[in-house]
Structure 1
């Protein structure tokens, strides 16, 4: 076995050969429909309560609320949908929606009957429950949660046309006294942070009494801040909660659409509350033909001197001549035949594609609504009544820095066309002084494809970090002074695993410390704390590279944080790239060394700290155990207690016996790894049919749990493992201009290494992948006969024709994807024909000997349907065994549940036939005549209904 070197690593879980007196049944697709699992999680602010929803894949769910560190638990039926739960800030109450039951929802869909959610309010001390019907939304009253506001849906029969009033009743319910107050015709409402002020807008029939109002929740006094025959929307409180802004719209006969104004409310004091209104129309500095944009919420600067908002095009109505008046010259002319109306003239329905278009016409069409509603960031300084347009048609992207002293603008106008052609992106970067409005170019033609190009702004808004050509730098926005942050560190800040056609891809920038003194930047393994001037450098992880461990990311646990506060304990996810162990590390407050709290053969996630209490929770799982929550009251997460369990039905079924990590050497000489998941009831020394599932690098997910379900691509690892298959997931390392050949060089040795373990039956190995994995599957079977069967979902099959086709989901061309992203082929095929052809499945189609199940949907917006058709027809012409399944109207993945179910069942039927010798499904062995298709589908649907 050339270039094959097998190294067996330790099992993630020990395996013992056992003979079971009574083996558990395998998981079926019928069982997947009833599979019960947890969804979501909420932790009360004091950490004493947790909540989650659970229930089957299809059917009715329940909400569980339990004491985090005790056994007290409440459960409530919540219908077929899980919509989350909210705790009051004092952790005394919980509220959540209750939807219609599954059977009611299905019946209502058939008759188009509207259904409405209920709201369940629970007093946690005694589990007293209060239910409210026909609820649209709700909110507890901020940090002082004496109230809950509940908005109801409009009554049956209420007008639904676009001009109809949007307001409905809102109930203010006092949680302690149970007294309630009704506010009528409310369109929007929002509490401030403290919860002592409620801002709301009224939208009533005929716009009678419309306005924005402020209710003092302590006194009950309501103040009308603005009244008008207008509509109000987009209430946005500032973070402190002492000011807010919103939009107001008035009809103006000069314009096609409503004209919007910004209202800024500050210095809240009843009738003496300060108000400023600005619409720009009468401002000479405001750009002509523009108006306030409704697609961006307005907001105050921190010092409440400036309002920020968006503007976009505001179209005027066409001028019309007054009726009854005619042109005197026209009278003198002899009577002529009336001119045909514009609407009566037939217009060509066409598109002009010009080679100079920066964006393809298809992209412009796809993005038309986005372009029409594009938000050009602008500001209005209240004291001097100064308007400034910050973004424009060239510099469309503008980010306002913290403290609102500066903004950063990005202009890629000069590079947009080439970026859309070859995927290599550049931008000019500008500094905007928000006080003067002066714009200054900081960087010209900054490369952005590698993860650079965007400035990471410090919390003080005066300094930023950025990445150029393998190094990170800082820039002082006040002085313009730059410093090399990483130049003195003996480590690489180029991502060593990124094998795309990118110039020195960056490692991770974790931002700035809360005091803006330090940048936190990782190399490929260690995390560095670097002073803003680059002169002080501290490794927060001590030479983790030698152990192949890495700081994988920071775990954000503090509410409303501004940067990383090094005066508080900070937590990080940690990972070992060699043995795939995962865990959590802590950087104690004021210290300079991350301590690993634990690192083992589990996957950890959902790490959260209670907002006001010292309670930490996180999930723990592995390939055999589904995610469950654990809680600890210690900052070092010691003595963590298991809070809940998951997937209660798993114990009823045969389940995977664990996973092995194998190492091997590719045909290109690269040392790689593969995850080999063992089938249920694994017996050492016995070989098993195996599905090789491929994409790119997959082994980092070694300890992830595979939840049973109906995936968009048909393959569910848990189901196959339960049904006696092993599953192999190898890593693939790519060489430029060899995407297909790289897959062959990596996957085939991985399969041989897996066979050498004795676990994989060499005569019964299949391969499957979807999208990019589908391409590699389609290509591999042209280069090797090691696979007995293959299933390819939505595959690229002709790299030459695919290169210039449209990626319809975005409207852009595939050229950029090929040259700078996944395709890894550059430049165009006219200068690289051999590589494009060498890596195209269709050009090796005569060598295919492996039966293929092909999925390609007719509305695939990522990989054009013609790619599947081309491969299918080529194989069919050569009389190769192939079946293509197309779900009409579906995109790149299967979205509709009946279709997801159908394909999952068919794929397993196919592999069972090919690898286990079960009878061939008729749709494979004989096909289905078009006239018999409906009967075929009805029969399958009936059989499934019988099973359920």
Structure 2
């Protein structure tokens, strides 16, 4: 053997031994570890893309946070250097990102300063100063003096006699109301032309009032009060330099108009207004009878007394009538009667229609409907005609950008619908797109949501809409055919494609240019970024086994601030260029994680008892050996695989187990996905959870004699149901569970005062009917009624101030198991709610929960609190953690 090969082998052995030594010396996660865990907080990318601002905050260490909350880090993208800044609040970028404003401590005082990031120059600021986002300018007003100050060039401005003012455009042009000695004047002009502002309106007989300005249209309006009591309403335009009267004194007096309510419709000469309210003397209530208190529950009350008591109760006030006045033809007519809903108009220059959302028909049904329903009406602003469009809608309604189409989601058709107001013709997109536009996996009784819309084309003539995987383009007028922009590649690849949207709102999309697209592989849950050409060509930029989120981008779009994470990789900040060819991590939030046992996570798949493919997450300890036996906990809620790449944060338990901690201590943890059949939630859970656990047993991954079960709240119900149908689990923790649907159906959620029935008929509990329509189903899904079948040792967690699930449910289950003489313990942290909020209670629960599972799954001794109990005289004196 040559010497070089020998040296290489020795080096390899050395590295292996060192790595193995470090690996074996890793510690188990504990309370001390929890207090070291941090998150990246308050992060921002400067608009010019040159700087990243962030700080570190601890998840569970208030003392450390008192120090770190005031330490900010500035990462310079070009050089990779990081500097620190002590600041008593969140710094704010302005002037394109070259300056920040922040509060600086100086001894006992705190002052506001502006700091130039190029040269660290600092300038004191007044509190409440307005900051220019584009250039180094600040502005403030003192009494009637307006000051606009340049921080670098000597271009400051001072104006006196200023009332209301508006600064607009990136270089801060100005329009303002000036109160002169004998008149009111509206001036406008460029900031750097002091003394040369144009006068758009002057009057020495009237006091201008309610002056407003719309930057997007460069227009505005104002009302006035004359010396003789006359009133009027005017509109003005900086584009045309015209001022026009829309309401004169006679019209205001004749119609008794409240000038504060006047609203101009775009740039038209039409205004909406309300009448001035008549002052009404308050009716005397008389003397209150306090000899007794009566709580009256009426079947037709809009809000029941329990909800009134918590939310407060105010009788519904009728909205006033609305009127329309058109200065072009002198017409004035009533637009809406008293009690009408809000009017929503398109933000266009000449709106012709509005829509209303009338919730009135559904107000008395809110006790059993989770989603607020409304009827949609189209209102003709020229004729005041109100026309019903659709009933029982639940989703947002949109005007197209040009105001010529109305878009709504019809729950019955399970489709987006485009309405052309003038002809009242509809286009149902489900008739044009061959795949469902509603969430096909949605498993609750209330109407399934849509996959959403991405936005509108830049000219406002096309709608971009999603199916489950792909992106479609719809011509609003129908002049061209609807087409799949992504050419159904998403469906072929089993990958979800969504247009990148930094603001998570409806946007304008350039369908003729290249767009950025985010991807999620439904099979692996890997995420990525692609480019989408106008012709539909998809090109990957980055993709991998992580969750990638673009949180901000520079103004020019060339620099991106991202977060990237998976089970092994913490949620750090990354900086990337637009192509993602250059991407680097800029924070190291929790380097100490390498010192702790963490385990691995993988997605597993099996066929459930309903004959469907089921997925789940399987967590294995670092030293997992398939030939050894490990304790296992099955814990779940609904679906978990879509979040498989979210990095967990270890910590004390608020209710459920902390998965990284249990994996660190040698446990296998299994999280099966559960999709529900309406009317059969218990059986659905059984088909998924029991089948998945059995599949892992059959594969030799887990020991059938060492499998614990845990659920809380909704999954607490599922856990309770499962142990009435199977004895495969060694022990079970049932937390804050619904255990008798027949009684809880008419219960009250104490946190809100709202009846529970909406949870069953229309929401999470998935019965989908009233109790009386499916009495057998409600009985079948009530674990308490089958408690005699429970032979699994149970630890019940339920606190007496639980506002979501009645404490009596947990206590009833315990009493049933006590009567049946089955091993059961119940922990009530007095004064705590659905989850534990107080840290001492969290710490105690974390200890006892682990001791319970360790006893049954690791064969550790039973602690004294389980053997002896804790009587009322021992509370607080002897916690009995010992054996």
TM-score by length of 2: 0.80
Evaluate the alpha carbon distance shift between residue 692 and residue 319 of structure 1 in structure 2; reply closer, same or farther with a 3 A threshold: closer
**Which residue of structure 2 aligns with residue 147 of structure 1?**
138
Work out whether 1:652 is the aligned partner of 2:568.
Answer: no
Evaluate the alpha carbon distance shift between residue 90 and residue 244 of structure 1 in structure 2; reply closer, same or farther with a 3 A threshold: farther
Answer yes or no: is the 8 Å Cα contact 1:171–1:182 preserved in 2: yes
- Aligned to 1:646, the other structure's residue is in SS state coil
**Which residue of structure 2 aligns with residue 678 of structure 1?**
620
Query: Superposed, which structure 2 residues align to 1:295-334 within 5 Å?
Result: 302-303=266-267, 316-318=280-282
Answer yes or no: is the 8 Å Cα contact 1:65–1:73 preserved in 2: yes
How large is the Cα RMSD of the aligned pairs?
5.0
Distance in 2 (alpha carbons) for counterparts of 1:617 and 1:519: 29
Work out whether 1:729 is the aligned partner of 2:676.
Answer: no
Work out whether 1:610 is the aligned partner of 2:610.
Answer: no
Answer yes or no: is the 8 Å Cα contact 1:662–1:754 preserved in 2: no
Distance in 2 (alpha carbons) for counterparts of 1:176 and 1:684: 68
Answer yes or no: is the 8 Å Cα contact 1:679–1:726 preserved in 2: yes
Evaluate the alpha carbon distance shift between residue 370 and residue 128 of structure 1 in structure 2; reply closer, same or farther with a 3 A threshold: farther
Work out whether 1:65 is the aligned partner of 2:74.
Answer: yes
Distance in 2 (alpha carbons) for counterparts of 1:872 and 1:477: 61
**Which residue of structure 1 aligns with residue 501 of structure 2?**
556
- Aligned to 2:296, the other structure's residue is in SS state coil
Evaluate the alpha carbon distance shift between residue 472 and residue 653 of structure 1 in structure 2; reply closer, same or farther with a 3 A threshold: same
Answer yes or no: is the 8 Å Cα contact 2:636–2:715 preserved in 1: yes
Answer yes or no: is the 8 Å Cα contact 1:512–1:520 preserved in 2: yes
Work out whether 1:597 is the aligned partner of 2:541.
Answer: yes
TM-score by length of 1: 0.75
How far off its partner does 1:546 sit? 4.8
Answer yes or no: is the 8 Å Cα contact 2:256–2:276 preserved in 1: no
Answer yes or no: is the 8 Å Cα contact 2:793–2:822 preserved in 1: yes
**Which residue of structure 2 aligns with residue 487 of structure 1?**
431
Distance in 2 (alpha carbons) for counterparts of 1:312 and 1:759: 76
How far off its partner does 1:71 sit? 1.0
Out of 120, 143, 154, the residue aligned to residue 127 of structure 1 is 120
Distance in 1 (alpha carbons) for counterparts of 2:730 and 2:129: 56
How far off its partner does 1:482 sit? 1.6
How far off its partner does 1:799 sit? 0.7
**Which residue of structure 1 aligns with residue 760 of structure 2?**
818
- Aligned to 1:837, the other structure's residue is in SS state helix
Evaluate the alpha carbon distance shift between residue 423 and residue 54 of structure 1 in structure 2; reply closer, same or farther with a 3 A threshold: closer
Q: 5+ unaligned residues in a row in structure 2: which ranges?
A: 1-15, 178-185, 225-230
- Aligned to 1:713, the other structure's residue is in SS state coil
Evaluate the alpha carbon distance shift between residue 31 and residue 370 of structure 1 in structure 2; reply closer, same or farther with a 3 A threshold: farther
Distance in 1 (alpha carbons) for counterparts of 2:815 and 2:843: 26
Evaluate the alpha carbon distance shift between residue 268 and residue 511 of structure 1 in structure 2; reply closer, same or farther with a 3 A threshold: closer
Distance in 2 (alpha carbons) for counterparts of 1:23 and 1:410: 63
Answer yes or no: is the 8 Å Cα contact 2:656–2:711 preserved in 1: no
Out of 34, 51, 60, the residue aligned to residue 53 of structure 2 is 51
- Aligned to 2:97, the other structure's residue is in SS state coil
Q: 5+ unaligned residues in a row in structure 1: which ranges?
A: 1-14, 102-114, 152-166, 202-211, 249-260, 321-340, 944-948
**Which residue of structure 1 aligns with residue 42 of structure 2?**
40
Work out whether 1:690 is the aligned partner of 2:632.
Answer: yes
Query: Superposed, which structure 2 residues align to 1:68-217 within 5 Å?
Result: 68-78=77-87, 84-96=90-102, 119=112, 121-129=114-122, 139-147=130-138, 174-176=150-152, 192=168, 194=170, 196=172
Distance in 1 (alpha carbons) for counterparts of 2:769 and 2:503: 47
Work out whether 1:803 is the aligned partner of 2:745.
Answer: yes
How far off its partner does 1:705 sit? 0.9
Out of 454, 464, 473, the residue aligned to residue 520 of structure 1 is 464
How far off its partner does 1:766 sit? 2.3
Answer yes or no: is the 8 Å Cα contact 1:432–1:439 preserved in 2: yes
Evaluate the alpha carbon distance shift between residue 438 and residue 761 of structure 1 in structure 2; reply closer, same or farther with a 3 A threshold: same
Deviations 1:586-629 (A, max 9, x none): 223x4434434333211111343212352223221111101223
Distance in 1 (alpha carbons) for counterparts of 2:672 and 2:763: 20
**Which residue of structure 2 aligns with residue 911 of structure 1?**
853
Answer yes or no: is the 8 Å Cα contact 2:494–2:522 preserved in 1: yes
**Which residue of structure 1 aligns with residue 359 of structure 2?**
412
Evaluate the alpha carbon distance shift between residue 351 and residue 627 of structure 1 in structure 2; reply closer, same or farther with a 3 A threshold: same
Evaluate the alpha carbon distance shift between residue 51 and residue 504 of structure 1 in structure 2; reply closer, same or farther with a 3 A threshold: closer
**Which residue of structure 2 aligns with residue 794 of structure 1?**
736
- Aligned to 1:674, the other structure's residue is in SS state strand
Answer yes or no: is the 8 Å Cα contact 1:514–1:565 preserved in 2: yes
- Aligned to 1:462, the other structure's residue is in SS state coil
- Report the more deviating stretch, 739-748 or 513-522: 513-522
How far off its partner does 1:647 sit? 2.0
Out of 801, 825, 838, the residue aligned to residue 859 of structure 1 is 801
Answer yes or no: is the 8 Å Cα contact 1:245–1:262 preserved in 2: no
How far off its partner does 1:576 sit? 1.9
**Which residue of structure 1 aligns with residue 453 of structure 2?**
509
Answer yes or no: is the 8 Å Cα contact 1:245–1:263 preserved in 2: yes
- Report the more deviating stretch, 600-609 or 871-880: 871-880
Deviations 1:536-585 (A, max 9, x none): 12212233465452435332137997532324543332212222222223
Answer yes or no: is the 8 Å Cα contact 2:409–2:415 preserved in 1: yes
Query: Superposed, which structure 2 residues align to 1:201-600 within 5 Å?
Result: 238-240=214-216, 242=218, 302-303=266-267, 316-318=280-282, 342-343=286-287, 345-346=289-290, 348-368=292-312, 393=339, 395-396=340-341, 398-403=343-348, 404-418=351-365, 420-421=367-368, 427-434=374-381, 437-443=384-390, 445=391, 447-448=392-393, 454-468=396-410, 469-502=413-446, 506-534=450-478, 536-544=481-489, 546-547=491-492, 549-551=494-496, 553-557=498-502, 562-588=507-533, 590-600=534-544
Evaluate the alpha carbon distance shift between residue 533 and residue 561 of structure 1 in structure 2; reply closer, same or farther with a 3 A threshold: closer
Distance in 2 (alpha carbons) for counterparts of 1:23 and 1:767: 30
Answer yes or no: is the 8 Å Cα contact 1:791–1:853 preserved in 2: yes
Larger Rg computed on CA atoms:
2
- Aligned to 1:52, the other structure's residue is in SS state strand
Deviations 1:137-179 (A, max 9, x none): 564224344116699xxxxxxxxxxxxxxx9999977533799
Evaluate the alpha carbon distance shift between residue 372 and residue 891 of structure 1 in structure 2; reply closer, same or farther with a 3 A threshold: farther
Answer yes or no: is the 8 Å Cα contact 2:803–2:833 preserved in 1: yes
How far off its partner does 1:751 sit? 1.5
- Aligned to 1:868, the other structure's residue is in SS state helix
Distance in 2 (alpha carbons) for counterparts of 1:918 and 1:456: 61
Evaluate the alpha carbon distance shift between residue 198 and residue 319 of structure 1 in structure 2; reply closer, same or farther with a 3 A threshold: farther
How far off its partner does 1:675 sit? 0.9
Evaluate the alpha carbon distance shift between residue 481 and residue 828 of structure 1 in structure 2; reply closer, same or farther with a 3 A threshold: closer
How far off its partner does 1:839 sit? 0.9
Deviations 1:781-820 (A, max 9, x none): 2222333333333221111111111234443322222122
Evaluate the alpha carbon distance shift between residue 806 and residue 116 of structure 1 in structure 2; reply closer, same or farther with a 3 A threshold: farther
**Which residue of structure 2 aligns with residue 329 of structure 1?**
none
1 or 2 for the larger relative contact order (CA 8 Å, sep ≥6)? 1
- Report the more deviating stretch, 300-309 or 87-96: 300-309
Evaluate the alpha carbon distance shift between residue 671 and residue 65 of structure 1 in structure 2; reply closer, same or farther with a 3 A threshold: same
Answer yes or no: is the 8 Å Cα contact 2:629–2:702 preserved in 1: yes
Distance in 2 (alpha carbons) for counterparts of 1:712 and 1:187: 54
Distance in 1 (alpha carbons) for counterparts of 2:106 and 2:776: 59
Evaluate the alpha carbon distance shift between residue 442 and residue 470 of structure 1 in structure 2; reply closer, same or farther with a 3 A threshold: closer
Distance in 1 (alpha carbons) for counterparts of 2:145 and 2:790: 67
Out of 577, 584, 600, the residue aligned to residue 633 of structure 1 is 577
Evaluate the alpha carbon distance shift between residue 267 and residue 554 of structure 1 in structure 2; reply closer, same or farther with a 3 A threshold: same
